[in-house]
Amino acid sequence: MFLDGLRRFFRRTPSDDVLPDWYDSRLRPGPEPGGDPVFLYMPWIPEHGDALVAKIARGGTGIRFHPLDIVRDPDDVTARLDVLVFAQKHPDRWRRLVMRKLAPLASRVAGLVVSFDWHPVMRELVYACRSLGVPTYLVPHESVFIDEERYYVARNGASVPATDYALVWGGMQRRIFTERGYPADRVVLTGSPKFDIFHDYRPMLDRVGFAAMYGLDPARPIVLFAGQPLDSQVDSQRYALSRQTEAIEDLLDVAEDKGIQVVIRQPPAKKVILSNEQRSRIEDSTDFAIDGPVKFSLPPEEAIYHAAAILSVNSTMLFEAVLMGRPSISMPYFDFEQIWTNLDIARAPNRDELARLLGEAIEKGRPMVSEAGLEWANRELAAGRFDGLAAGRVSDFLAGQARKPRPDIMRPNRASEVFAGTGGQGSIALVSNRGSLEPWTPLLKAVFGAKRLVAEVDAQDAAGADYLLHFDQRYSDPDPLYHRHRRTLGRPELYAEPGFLGPGLARAAGGARVSVVVDDVAPYYETSRLPRLIRRLSECGNLSGPERARAGALIATLGARLAATGPKGSRPRILVVDQSVEDRSVPPGEEAEKLFGRMLRDLIRTAPEAEIVVGSVPADLGAGVLAPAAVRRIAGTREIGFEAPDRDGLHAYARYDAVHVATSDAGAIALLAGVPVHCHAAPFYAGWGLTTDHAPVPDRSRRLDLEQLFHVAWIEMSRYFDPKSGKACAIEDLVIPAPAPDAAPEPGRPEPVALR
């Protein structure tokens, strides 16, 4: 506790009363009501997301855009860097600043458009919109540069869009997102609006005017080198930048030899890529020029149109030149997976090849690509072809969405997708209990498709989570700060508890965990809320023939396994199942003592001839309510036996004529063994006509058979994991058949794990 207090002290964020210098505190009037629907966008990098929004607005009709002014001067690279750091270090405070701006606009706009949402700045904006019921749309500004596996991947592991829809360029982005778990029915193939302008471009300037912008000679060839920050999808940015510097040096040397002029266009992200020596060489030369990074002389399409050739390590401008009908040359001066190899763009990995290809490009004056490469580009980077209509398709889709009711637009939250099995692969989950996480990690990752399980209490790690995994909390409290993160970050919760199929009934080597019960409303054992498990049992209709046959076969197999525990005795025997005082499914404190005391007293009074045995609590769950001293006090002179759970945490249910429980899951296991079960509270299996109920269960009026109960609880609401393959599996892959009579003990049986 002391260490947690110190951590919280040193992680304190600045006071909310002190706004960051970069924050635009003005609350501007929202869009005027009436007219075309309005979509929000957050001004960020003018040449990237802002330019994309402008293209959509110009290329389509029927929608308007309104800026969400959070950053005072987003054109200032220093301000943007401050925001990036702030959003990473203080995600809860960033969320509050975002919510303050969004709240007045939430009911007046049709949605939010972002060009990326993998970084905390935009991702938290998307999640804030979800909290306020504002639909969100991803229209990517960039596609894969180098490595598909690194595309759209944040440092915290986020790799799947969080938006309600993804309006992608072509087959490549669609495949990447869906393979990572983004719902396929929410991917819309539109093409890229950033490429529309290259379809039938009309220049702003003539050749003389273009050359005059840089002080160059219009009568001689001018080539453009597109610099990159190389800050993503590479192993070492420093190494990549050094190799780009060498590529630029070679280009200047070759151009000087051939009498070619060069414009070095620096990255829009304001990353300085030139060495001091190179900058001096360029500035002292009448044949070289620098454009950017603070302000660019011309937009990229104008520069491409007038250039005799485009060169770059790997910039998208290599492809944009092809669309404009200009030659382009890639300069891969270090080893990496290059997307443009699919297009067969000319490659100059060294100075000699550069000299040859640059001369060829100036002579031919047209793209140096193959027909097969162009077909690949039409398929993977466009909606069939580059027709200049992508912005119109985006605009038409957004306008159509604006006419729909919002509940029909909004994507289910990530926890609901994981629960329903319709998405959520590649998600990041913040787990409530890091203390018991380690042995469960393989199972949780496999059955939920989680990319990462965040167990730390650090706010930076928590902010990367797509949902909160309330895990294994029946007997313990969540880790410190878990509920704080739940409140401040507004993420949905998924509830998972150790399942009904433990090592005693399953093939699990080395005591591996093999099953969990999943719920997206509340823990399945909880009585104060109505868990999804109870709702599904209430709704359960007649099972189909295959469903009933499947449940019946599994019940028979498990029942036979349980019956192998031995024959009944000569006297009637009754098992009273004790529960831990820490168990959240029973009343706390004195109420639990009253409940279990009443259960035992009633049995002593009504079954004078029976042998009564108290089934003890497994050792790892702590003290039971019916401790020996309490039992002696209640029983008086009546002899009461005790039975410890076996090595697998199970009791010998088949040896008893009846099992009495409060809320223990042992009653559900006993039902499979064919033993009559008496419930003195309201576990999930009570109230359906399968048990004798000694307490009212008012919300359960239906009558179910054992197959229906099993289908919902053991099949529909549970997830299973095969520790041998390391993958999620069906329950049939794990169930152990009953041993043959007088069979020797199974070799390699796992160590016991208590059935809870």
Q: Residue 476 — pLDDT band, cuts 50, 70, 90? A: confident
> Averaged over 151-155, what is the pLDDT?
86
Q: Using alpha carbons only, what angle is made at residue 256 by residues 252 and 259, rounded to the nearest 5 degrees?
A: 130
DSSP string, 314-379: S-THHHHHHHHT--EEE---S----GGGGGT-EE--SHHHHHHHHHHHHHH-S----HHHHHHHHH
Q: What are phi and psi of 724, to 5 degrees?
A: -75, -45
Q: Which pLDDT does position 505 carry in this prediction?
A: 82
Average pLDDT, the chain: 87
Which residues, in sequence order, are CB contacts of 404 under 8 Å at separation 6+? none
Q: Above 80 in pLDDT, residue 94?
A: yes
Q: Residue 480 — pLDDT band, cuts 50, 70, 90? A: confident
379 neighbors 170 (Cβ within 8 angstroms): yes
Rounded to the nearest 5 percent, the helix, strand and coil shares of the chain are 40, 15, 45
Q: Above 70 in pLDDT, residue 269?
A: no
Question: Mind listing the pLDDT tens digit for each residue in 46-56?
Answer: 878 888 999 99
Q: Above 70 in pLDDT, residue 755?
A: no
Question: Mind listing the pLDDT tens digit for each residue in 414-440?
Answer: 999 999 888 778 889 989 987 778 889
- What are the start-end ranges of the E strands in 279-344? 288-291, 309-312, 328-330
> Averaged over 333-348, what is the pLDDT?
81
Which residues, in sequence order, are CB contacts of 417 under 8 Å at separation 6+? 183, 411, 423, 424
C-alpha span between 205 and 302 (Å, rounded): 8
6 by DSSP, 3-state: which? helix
Amino acid at 431: V
Which of 199-213, 240-254, 505-519, 698-712 bottoms out in mean pLDDT, i.e. has the lowest? Answer: 505-519
Identify the H or E element spanning 495.
strand 493-498
Residues forming beta bridges with residue 41, ordered by sequence position: 67
Which residues, in sequence order, are CB contacts of 202 under 8 Å at separation 6+? none
At 483, list the tokens.
């509920």
> Averaged over 180-186, what is the pLDDT?
92
515 by DSSP, 3-state: which? strand
pTM over 0.85: no
**Among 690, 678, 693, 669, which residue's Cα sits nearest to residue 540?**
690
Q: Which pLDDT does position 421 carry in this prediction?
A: 84
Q: Which pLDDT does position 503 carry in this prediction?
A: 74
Question: Mind listing the pLDDT tens digit for each residue in 630-643?
Answer: 889 988 888 899 98
318 neighbors 328 (Cβ within 8 angstroms): yes
At 191, list the tokens.
């093409």
Q: Above 60 in pLDDT, residue 10?
A: no
Question: Mind listing the pLDDT tens digit for each residue in 701-717?
Answer: 899 999 999 999 999 99
Q: Above 90 in pLDDT, residue 680?
A: yes
Q: Which pLDDT does position 742 carry in this prediction?
A: 53
Q: Residue 682 — pLDDT band, cuts 50, 70, 90? A: very high
45 neighbors 80 (Cβ within 8 angstroms): yes
Q: Which pLDDT does position 130 carry in this prediction?
A: 94
Which one is predicted more confidently, 96 or 749? Answer: 96
Which one is predicted more confidently, 723 or 335? Answer: 723
Q: Above 60 in pLDDT, residue 741?
A: no
Q: Above 90 in pLDDT, residue 287?
A: yes
287 neighbors 303 (Cβ within 8 angstroms): no
C-alpha span between 460 and 463 (Å, rounded): 5
Q: Which pLDDT does position 676 carry in this prediction?
A: 96
C-alpha span between 396 and 61 (Å, rounded): 7
Q: Which pLDDT does position 754 carry in this prediction?
A: 33
Q: Which pLDDT does position 542 carry in this prediction?
A: 92
What is the total residue count of the chain? 756
Q: Which pLDDT does position 56 carry in this prediction?
A: 93
Q: Above 90 in pLDDT, residue 666?
A: yes
Q: Which pLDDT does position 738 carry in this prediction?
A: 67
Q: Is the dihedral of CA 682, 686, 687, 692 positive or negative?
A: negative
> Averaged over 306-332, what is the pLDDT?
92
At 532, list the tokens.
């999804």
C-alpha span between 438 and 593 (Å, rounded): 34
C-alpha span between 422 and 183 (Å, rounded): 7
| Helix orientation angle between 77-89 and 120-131, rounded to the nearest 10 degrees | 60
What count of other Cβ atoms lies within 10 Å of the Cβ of residue 376?
A: 19
Q: Residue 9 — pLDDT band, cuts 50, 70, 90? A: very low
At 459, list the tokens.
């706010």
At 17, list the tokens.
């009363």
Which residues, in sequence order, are CB contacts of 481 under 8 Å at separation 6+? 8, 457, 459, 462
Q: What are phi and psi of 359, to 5 degrees?
A: -65, -40
**Among 346, 344, 385, which residue's Cα sits nearest to residue 362?**
346
DSSP string, 455-509: ----HHHHHT-SEEEEES-SSSPPPTTHHHHHHHH---EEEEEE-S--TTTB--G
C-alpha span between 380 and 513 (Å, rounded): 42
Which of 1-15, 76-90, 287-301, 649-663 bottoms out in mean pLDDT, i.e. has the lowest? Answer: 1-15
